[in-house]
Amino acid sequence: MTSAAGPSEPGSTPGTGLIRRLVVEGSSLPPRARARLYLIIFGTILLLVWGPISLMLALKPDTYTSEWTLILPGTGNGLALNLDSIGQAAANSASPYTNSSVDPVVNYKAIAQSSSVLAQAARALDMTLTEFGQPKIKLVDQTALMEFRITGRTSEQAYQKAIALNQALKHRLDQLRDDEAEQQAAASLAMLEQFNSKLEQAQQQKLSYQINADIISLNQFEELIETLEARKQHQQTMAKRQQALLQRIETLKTGLAVSESELAYALALRSDSAFQQMVSQHAAVHTQISTIDGVWGHNHPQLNQLNVAHDTVEAELIRRGRYVTQNERLTARQLVQLGTHSEHDHALIELLELTAERDGLVAEIRMEAEQIDQLQRRIETGAAQAIRLEDLNRKQQVSTAVFSTALAKQDIGNADRFSSYPLVQMLTAPSQPETPDRMMKTLALLGGIAATLGTAFGLGLLWIRKSWLRKVLKNA
């Protein structure tokens, strides 16, 4: 190989010619020396590549890898409770995957790799945090799977690390759930105290108003209205009955040709035994006088005695009749007519009974009208009280519903501990490897082989570059 370079091309600088000469012509070493140089370079590169690899293969102890998979269920659940006459309480927890901005598996990965979880797992095995190492966690796309890998010096150590890490993760999640439950319980208790205070205030206002008001409940006011309507209907019924009685009384009075006062006198006289005895005596004396007068004439000696007896009986009859009727204007004839029984006694008694019934009905209608007036006045004065009482009752019902619903919601809400931190289930248990993990050594060997082949290929290209470049430049 000659060391002289070809003549420089027109327009090229000295520096460019030097670079071109070094690239195309290379050194001026003879082939053997050049081959020796390439072998030295190749050996040096192999030493730099395979030296660390050999040390790693010789000194790095074997490691064992335990693998397991966790899954997070993604369905939400809910609880509901119907409170009769009060309201409804419901506690719902949506699926943790419905929010696109928050992925629970990413949160769980951060929690599993946190220092607190790793430190707890290391303490469980009497290791330092450095000795325990960092687990490798892979999140499978479009799933809720978390694939864990952790290494150990022995198969048992790797398995125990996996168990300790899984237990530490669950313990930390339980702590987070407990802390969330305590904070929510404290906030719920404060809220319940406010609701309870409002409920007690509403109850006290209603009770105070009931003590001083005539209307103590809305049912009482409604009962007053119902009673008023019932009394009005009863009054109308009695009025119709009164009209029927009046018509019947007028019919009987027309047939008997007596007034109401004469009807009362007749009943009183016919009910008095002393007067009836005097009527009988008066009739007997009057009969004797008529008989003697008809047979013996007006001058018969007994007529004088009978006339005296007639006057005496008649005077006593008038006295007794006026005493019974309390009417000083009635004559003996009128008293006898009113006090003597006849074929019209039945109609007379019926007329008297109807009159008495009419009087009683009139009194009852009057009393009913007074009761209706009293009820109307009471309803008018109690309307405002009923409205106010209904308002207080509504406030109490609302306060009761709010308090009872909040209390029930707190109770049923505590039943779901996994709303913020979903349940974690083990899909595949931690494995206990039987053979060491040679992945690192395999990769190192593959890297060394690739580096060796690349170096050989590169040096080969450098060896043959002269003839190839000369042909390219000559054609150009």
Average the pLDDT over each of 128-142, 175-189, 283-297, 385-399 and give the range with the smallest value: 283-297
Average the pLDDT over each of 76-80, 127-131, 228-232 and give the range with the smallest value: 76-80
Q: Are residues 240 and 373 in the same domain?
A: yes
Q: What angle do CA 242, 245, 250 make, to 5 degrees?
A: 125
Residue 5 counted as domain residue: no
Reported as a pLDDT band with limits 50, 70 and 90, residue 421 is: confident
Q: Are residues 199 and 282 in the same domain?
A: no
Residue 354 counted as domain residue: yes
Mean pLDDT of the chain: 77
pLDDT value of position 330 = 80
Residue 61 counted as domain residue: no
pLDDT value of position 1 = 38
Q: How many domains in the chain?
A: 3
Give the range of the structural domain holding residue 308, as residue numbers without chain letter: 221-388
Residue 297 counted as domain residue: yes
Q: Which residue, 137, 158, 156, is CA-closest to 148?
A: 137
Q: Are residues 244 and 174 in the same domain?
A: no
Q: Are residues 75 and 190 in the same domain?
A: yes
Q: Are residues 197 and 115 in the same domain?
A: yes
Residue 400 counted as domain residue: no
Q: Which residues are 67's β-sheet partners?
A: 149
Reported as a pLDDT band with limits 50, 70 and 90, residue 146 is: very high
pLDDT value of position 250 = 75
Find how far residue 412's CA is from the centre of its chain.
11
Residue 248 counted as domain residue: yes
Residue 293 counted as domain residue: yes
Exposed / middle / buried, residue 259 (Cβ in 10 Å: 0-12, 13-18, 19+): exposed
Q: Are residues 456 and 382 in the same domain?
A: no
- The structure's pTM equals 0.49
Q: Are residues 349 and 476 in the same domain?
A: no
pLDDT value of position 10 = 47
Q: Are residues 184 and 295 in the same domain?
A: no
Average the pLDDT over each of 10-19, 195-204, 379-388 and give the range with the smallest value: 10-19
Q: Are residues 225 and 368 in the same domain?
A: yes
Residue 405 counted as domain residue: no
Q: In degrees rounded to 5, what are phi and psi of residue 71?
A: -135, 145
Q: Are residues 299 and 381 in the same domain?
A: yes
Average pLDDT in the 84-100 region? 52
Q: Are residues 192 and 268 in the same domain?
A: no
Q: Are residues 121 and 239 in the same domain?
A: no
